[in-house]
Chains A and B, each alone.
Chain A
């Protein structure tokens, strides 16, 4: 479980997170949605320690995160953009992350490497890969160490439909294994398909948090995209 308590973050004069409280439940898929600049990425990065909150607390699996890095062993992260060291080969990137994770004692999950046919790309340099293939490497790295928590930032944004379907199946399967999955997306059909819980962020505040069913029940059954769009319009009005 991940809990954020009174988490606040400003960049200069811009308050990106306004003392938010949030609980990401274990064993389900939580989607963070919201317009650009609403604080989605900052929330995710605060959990990972990439962004240092001004105040508030991040608790991951009952342990308060306070500069320690070991808790990230339980987390797999897929960033929006995958530009790594350009002259390394794909195999080097996998070796690097395995090396720094000291992964000898972990049973590796190489399913995505196989399903994305990444073995064929192993000896190619990263600078010679397409954006989609880089993102496949990125996704495979996130799932590789069997982490209990998966954080996926716009996971299917630059994947082709086949790769996107494979990744969504993987997310479903991992959820079935009881993993905690947190994702952001602008694709509402994807959010509807994958998520159990929805967090709607708006201007640094949690505007809505609840189950997808509750959110849909409050609407006239015209799809999540319409519900979210109405919430955005309502908030803007």
Chain B
């Protein structure tokens, strides 16, 4: 109950935050522009996918880490009240995740609704993209909390999350390609499947592309996964790995929060 009370005030704070409002309108403008350019919901979902895979992790991880650093005195105020640390942690995590999810859903949903996606072919693609965006929000807010609780110095924390985002979103594919090239004499299917499990952004992309069944865009990791598991099992395996990617940093952050000196 106390957790819900804390969550309510975090929502009140964050839904008035210019960053969350900007985030919502960013997705609204981009989605609407893609509709106006292409018109076809399936094409729009495919184009939005790349943006969602880059922007949702970036925004969630940076806003998350800054929010936690800026809430330091608020945490002190709350922890001097008769409430448990766990209640405060879940209230803060829930408040930030729900706020960012609200901004994302606002920007992604309205154009699809007024362009009539529900009546058109492609609403199932759109739903998968929404689920992917929401899952990435939960994962990257959890990672940002964990990192902010590891590094006392906010500059180190901010640098840490940017490096992590670059690694997951940009550098990782290059590293995988390099490994495949370097070990080109060996069968790389299984190692590459394992590598794909170690990157939540890669997993999200694979789930989307398995749904679209566009093997040309899947990259080596996606194609290996499809070949190994097939489409449906591949999606289930990837979704389970993403679930693990949510739980691990969330409980890592929780453990640090419960033990931390404020």
Residues of A that sit less than 8 Å from B by CB: 11, 45, 48-52, 69-73, 75, 77, 79, 81-88, 92, 95-97, 99-101, 125, 138, 141, 151
Known: A11-B261, A79-B73. Contact between A88 and B13, CB under 8 A? yes
Q: Tell me the smallest distance from the CB of B149 to a CB of chain A, in Å.
A: 14
With known contacts A48-B80, A69-B84, A88–B17 Cβ distance under 8 A: no
Main secondary structure of the interface of A (DSSP, over half): mixed
Q: Give the contacting residue for B74; candidates A45, A72, A85; CB below 8 A.
A: A85
Instruction: Report the minimal beta-carbon distance from A97 to chain B, rounded to whole angstroms.
Output: 6
Asked whether A83 lies within 8 Å of B70 as measured between CB atoms, the reply is yes
CA distance A96 to B71 in the complex (A): 15
Partner of B71, one of A48, A52, A69, A85: A85
* Interface bits B76-89 vs A (CB < 8 Å: 1, else 0): 11111111100000
Does residue B156 face the partner (Cβ distance < 8 Å to A)? Answer: no
Which A residue's beta carbon lies closest to that of B260? A52
B260 to chain A, nearest CB (A): 8
CB-CB under 8 A from B6, the residues of chain A are: 96, 100
**Which residues from chain B contact A88 at a C-beta distance below 8 Å?**
9, 12-13
Question: Which of these, A11, A81, A83, A92, contacts B9 with CB under 8 Å?
Answer: A92
Docked complex Cα distance between A125 and B259 (Å): 32
Task: Find residues 1-46 in chain B having any chain A CB closer than 8 Å to their own CB.
Answer: 2, 5-6, 9-10, 12-14, 16-17
Which of B5, B17, B80 meets A77, CB within 8 Å?
Answer: B80
Inter-subunit contact B73/A101 (CB<8 Å): no
Do the beta carbons of A100 and B83 come within 8 Å of each other? yes
Which residue in B2, B9, B79, B81 is a CB contact (below 8 Å) of A85? B9
User: In whole angstroms, what is the CA distance A97 to B119 when docked?
Assistant: 47
Output the least CB separation between A79 and chain B (Å): 5
B 215-248 contacts with A by CB, 8 A: none
CB-CB nearest in chain B for A97: B81
Instruction: Tell me if A87 and B73 are in contact (CB < 8 A).
Output: no
CB distance from B7 to the nearest CB of A (A): 11
Is B262 part of the contact surface with A, judged by Cβ < 8 Å?
yes
Q: How far is the CA of A52 from the CA of B260 in the complex (A)?
A: 7
